Amino acid sequence: MGRKVVRTNLRRFLPNLQQVRAIVGGKVQRILVCVSCIKRGRVTRPTPAAKAA
């Protein structure tokens, strides 16, 4: 027979954060961004021309 579960642990669902290079205020910075924001295109990634500047 199965056993009755008495206690349950509270799970924490944390965002999937990644460190990426992004343009913030006209400058290239490393920031922590969630993957869902990267996939939706909310983060402007620097182009090779912006990296040299």
Write b or e for each residue in 30-53: b if 16 or more Cβ atoms lie within 10 A of its Cβ, otherwise e: eeebeeebeeeeebeebeeeeeee
Q: What is the pTM of this model?
A: 0.64
Separation of alpha carbons 22 and 37, rounded Å: 12
Domain residue spans in the chain?
17-47
Per-residue pLDDT of the chain (53 residues; tens, 9 = 90+): 678 888 888 999 999 999 999 999 999 999 999 999 999 999 999 988 755 66
